[in-house]
Each structure stands twice: as structure tokens, then as C-alpha cells.
Amino acid sequence: MLLVRYLEEGLGALHKEGRTRGPIHRCDGQEAVGVAATATLEINDKVATTHRGHSVYLGKGMAPHPVIAEILGRATGACAGRAGHMLIADADKGVIGGNAIVGAGIPAATGMALSMQVLGQKGVAMCVFGDGAAQTGICHEAMNMAGLWKLPVVFVLEHNQFGLTVPTEVQSPIQDLSIRAAGYDIPAEIVDGNDAVAVYRAVSAMVERARRGEGPGMVECKTYRLEGF
């Protein structure tokens, strides 16, 4: 978590100097979610994240240097400088990638889970997404499919109280967004997203459940974004 915070602060300084390629969406304050959630995964498990996914990249095992180089647009970056800040991926680490499209990682992870199920693999797919993405239609389509087919996917909702600059109360009539999971027969738990141990325990239980073939799970992590947009 501390390493992620140092990374965010360093990237913020580089961005102010005009050295980054494109915008920077920082995750200061919500580092515990990505780090603790991905700590529950094995190397062959897959994870998709958002445009604010630096904690997920490092949590799943990526080194800081290729991430930084990618954001600076250098050939030594994780994707040879072509992906930029929002689309970083590392197949060897099981990082499907970030997404510039809000909510796009949800069907990607669900599709990976379907692939694992069809191929008879024991892996688990995870998507880390925000409260803004939770309002999209594709989120509900993916969760419905996952619940229907008992796919090995874990939905980790990083509820940081804002969709870019829009507060949750302006986006949704409910504040506990994970209660919607019941409509898809998906068990859900709400935890303090700033408590890394609580996040780890809740997500770990859902991951192991999915690995046993018992279907998807959801964990809503209540946190707060301190920096950026």
C-alpha cells in the first residue's frame, strides 16, 4: 500500500511537469482495495481493473518500473509505451488490463471466467470497478450471466463515493450498491475499504468459493478517493 502511495505521488509530480503521456487518474486513499483484493489471487488467476488501477497492477505482481515507463510512453514499458496510463496489461501476471471505458472490465473478467469454466480450469477471474461503473447496463448484464451460469468471477466494488466528480448520491437512490447482487443470486459483503485485512478476508472467502465451483461473489469496499478526478 505504501509503495502504491509513493507511486501515485511520484506520477502526480511527473504529470505536473508534463512528462506523462496522457492524463493520470490517481487512487490515493483507496490503495487497500486493489492491493488486498489481488493478494487473494494465484498467478494463473485473472484480474481486470479500471482507469484508476495502479494498486491492482502492483498488487497482482507487476513491478513499478514497467508501469512507470508505460505511463511515460517509453519502449521499456509494460506494453512498450503503446497503452498509456489507462490500458496497462501484463498477461504473464494475469493482468487483463485497465480500461478507459467505465465498466468495460466487468464483462472482460466475466468472459475470462466463462473461458475458465468451459476449459475446465480451476482459475478465478476478478474485476475491480467503481461505483460509477456499477450504474452501467453492462455491469448488470455481466452479473446476471455470471449468476445464471455460476461463473468463477469475483466482483470487487471499489466504492470511493465518486464517479469521476459526481457523488454517489447523485447517481443512485441507494448507497449500498452491492444489495443489487441478490437479484442475480450472488452473495455479497460490505467491508471497510480502508481496512486491508477486512478486504482480504472478505474477498478471499469469495475467491475460494468461486474456485470450488460455487459461483460468483461480490464485495463492496467502502473507501474514499483523496486525489484526482
* CATH number for 136: 3.40.50.970
Cell numbers placing 71: 505511463
Establish if 165 belongs to a structural domain. yes
Name the amino acid, one letter, at 178.
Answer: S
pLDDT at site 37: 98
Q: Is residue 77 part of a domain?
A: no
* Residue 172, domain member (yes or no): yes
Buried b (16+ CB within 10 A) or exposed e, 26-40: bbbbbbbbbbbbbeb
Residue 34 lies in a domain: yes
Nearest residue to 85 (alpha-carbon basis) of 96, 95, 99: 99
State the Cα–Cα distance between residues 84 and 61, nearest whole angstrom.
19
Domain assignment present for residue 72? The answer is no
Q: Which residues of the chain have pLDDT under 70?
A: 228-229
Measured from the Cβ of residue 159, the count of other Cβ atoms closer than 10 Å reads 23
pLDDT at 113: 99
pLDDT value at residue 25: 87
Look at residue 162 and tell me if it is in a domain: yes
The interaxial angle of helices 64-71 and 2-16, nearest 10 deg, is 20
Report the number of distinct structural domains present in the chain: 1
Residue 223 burial (CB < 10 Å; 0-12/13-18/19+)? buried
Retrieve residue 12's grid coordinates.
502526480
Domain of 123, in residue numbers? 29-53+86-222
Look at residue 8 in the predicted model and tell me its pLDDT. 86
Contact 62, 93 (CB under 8 A): yes
Please report whether residue 138 resides in a domain. Answer: yes
Domain annotation covers residue 121:
yes
